Amino acid sequence: MKIKDGFMLRRFGDDSIVVAVGEGAEDFNRLITLNEVGSFIYKQLSEDKTLDELAAAIVEAYEVDEAVARADAEAFVLNLDKAGLLDG
């Protein structure tokens, strides 16, 4: 899975905001706010990644347990998908 085309992430302080750009922008009026870990996962998903790969990246970056990383990744991915940002 990866982030669909047509979204832009911009960092403000510790958090980030995702906005829609391009052709889809008119249908997607919402703004999505991400915390630091959220932004990290979002950036990972600019390229196609599996859940295992995401969890591994989180473990490496934040030195957390594999199980915690996986749970975080899953929860985040579900939210991204619900918000309509994910492809595949």
Partner 1 sequence: MIFTFKIADIPFSADIRYRYTYDTMRDYLFDGEPDFHIEITDEDLARERELSPHDLPEPMHESTAVYRKYIYIIMERYDAFFFHCSSISVDGQAVMFTARSGTGKSTHRNLWMKNFGDRVKIINDDKPVIRKVDGVFYVYGTPWRGKEGLGENVRCKARALCFLSRSETNSIGEIDTVSVVTRALNQTVRPSEPKLMSNLLELLDGFITQVSCYDLRVNMDDDAAITAYNGIFGNEKGKANED
Q: How many residues does the chain have?
A: 88
CA dihedral (30, 80, 5, 44) positive or negative: positive
The H or E element containing residue 3 is: strand 2-3
* 46 binds partner 1 per the rule CB under 8 A: no
CB of residue 85 vs partner 1: minimum separation in angstroms?
16
Measured from the CB atom, is 31 or 47 closer to partner 1?
Answer: 31
- Rounded-to-integer distance, Cα 46 and Cα 13, Å: 21
Binds partner 1 by CB under 8 A, chosen from 2, 19, 36, 71: 19
Interacting residues toward partner 1 by CB under 8 A: 8, 10, 12-13, 15-17, 19-23, 25-26, 31, 33
